[in-house]
Chain A
Amino acid sequence: MSALGDIFGNARDQLAKAGSFTLFTLRLVRVTPAALARFSLVVDQVFNTGALSLVIIMLSGLFVGMVLGLQGFDLLQRFGSTESLGSAAGLGLLKELGPVITALLFAGRAGTSITSEIGLMAATDQLAAMEMMAVDPVRRVCAPRFVGGFIAMPLLAGIFSMIGIFGAQFVGVTLKGVDSGQFWSQMRASVELRDVMMGVIKSVVFGLACSAIAVYEGYHAVPTAEGVGRATTRTVVNSSVAVLLLDYMLTAVLL
């Protein structure tokens, strides 16, 4: 009987958490215009989440593209159509790998730093001090990080895809001997503007989801060393699951 009670209690907790997350996100969206008015705060966050993630994004993009070139070449060779490597790499990176892997890396690199920063601010009573001074911490601390993440994400995904395409080109053309003209012309023939837009739309949605989750977990972290650690873990887990789930839904809608 008490096990049943536990299950109901757990379900109620989860429901409450989903509700509080939704309300918090709506609050974030509502204070976004005010955050945009103080643009220098947003610029700081674009630097923190975007510019500082650049190295890991570029490095990952290069290697994902290279592996795609290698695997794609091996697969296409069996059908004697290695010149389609350009299409495979371009479409794969732009529509799927670029946005998704960037979002996962973003959750790991930028999301965790947002959560731990806000969590630590709460643990050291900085957020409470702001409230004492009649400064809304959601507006002053959370919203700029939310907006910054949402601006940085599509740009990071674009950089990832571009570097990835050059990585695939390096492996396919330089190492494996696919004709360079075939590689680029096949890619251009099969990639359309709507494929690029699909990647951009996906990365915007992922950026919104990851930033909202990171900010929420940080703001609602238990203000202790352990609580902040747990919140950081939850950010990565929840963001990753949300990204993969949203990816399926977006693909089904946009394809």
Chain B
Amino acid sequence: MTQSRSTEIGTGLFVLLGFAALFFLVTQISSRGLSFNDPAYHLTARFTNVGGLKVGSPVSMAGVTIGRVESIDVDPNDYKAVVRLRIQQKYSKIPNDSDVAIFTAGLLGGQYIGFGPGGSETYFKDGDRIEMTQSAIVLENLISKFLFDKASQPKPAEGDAK
């Protein structure tokens, strides 16, 4: 069975084009294509409540994404959420008294972790734990707190009448 040269060239061209398309889709279109290979280090942070934070949520400093959430677990001893962060190696100079908080991007956006840089001269190392954390704001708690505060206050209308 001899194949004509043009069949071989056509097939080769087609396969090349197909793989080029798949490569393009994986690397250029998807957000986390080959970034798994970037050098990075890990930090952990403990929160009383992570809200809607998910694995893969961005970690940002001054609004710039410097890493991603790698895993979220619950510590069975104190029932706190243990969040493992993967920070890119080029952002290795983060003062070790920095604090992290969980914020919401936009009104309907996903939640992310934001770094507030501290002033220490020493920096976080791989595997360090971030001590100062601020949990996600749970909207229901906020509303109920607001409502109960209102209810416990004396009504201004009654105060005026007396």
Interface residues of A (CB under 8 A from B): 38, 40-41, 43-44, 46-47, 50-52, 54, 90, 94, 152, 154-156, 158-159, 161-162, 165, 187-193, 195-196, 199-200
Q: CB-nearest residue of chain A relative to B8? A: A43
Q: How many A-B residue pairs have CB under 8 A?
A: 84
Interface size class of B (residues with CB under 8 A): 20 to 34
In B21-55, the 8 Å CB interface with A consists of 21-22, 24-26, 28-33
Give CA–CA (A154, B25) in the complex, Å: 12
A155 near B3 (CB under 8 angstroms)?
A: no
Known: A44-B1, A159-B17. 11 other contacts (CB 8 A): A44-B7, A46-B11, A47-B10, A51-B10, A54-B17, A90-B29, A94-B25, A158-B19, A162-B21, A188-B29, A195-B30
B1 near A158 (CB under 8 angstroms)?
A: no
CB distance from B21 to the nearest CB of A (A): 4
In B76-132, the 8 Å CB interface with A consists of none
A196 near B30 (CB under 8 angstroms)?
A: yes
Task: From B22, B30, B33, B56, give the contact of A158 (CB < 8 A).
Answer: B22
B33 near A46 (CB under 8 angstroms)?
A: no
A191 near B29 (CB under 8 angstroms)?
A: yes
Give CA–CA (A195, B56) in the complex, Å: 14
Query: Secondary structure at chain A's binding surface: helix, strand, loop or mixed?
Result: helix
Q: CB-nearest residue of chain B relative to A90? A: B29
Task: From A47, A51, A165, give the contact of B29 (CB < 8 A).
Answer: A165
Give CA–CA (A50, B56) in the complex, Å: 37
Task: From A41, A43, A159, A191, give the contact of B11 (CB < 8 A).
Answer: A43
Give CA–CA (A30, B37) in the complex, Å: 38
A159 near B21 (CB under 8 angstroms)?
A: yes
Whether, in the assembled complex, B13 has its beta carbon less than 8 Å from a beta carbon of chain A, the answer is yes
A187 near B22 (CB under 8 angstroms)?
A: no
B21 near A161 (CB under 8 angstroms)?
A: yes
Give CA–CA (A46, B17) in the complex, Å: 13
CB distance from A169 to the nearest CB of B (A): 11
B19 contacts across to A, CB distance below 8 A: 155, 158
A50 near B21 (CB under 8 angstroms)?
A: no
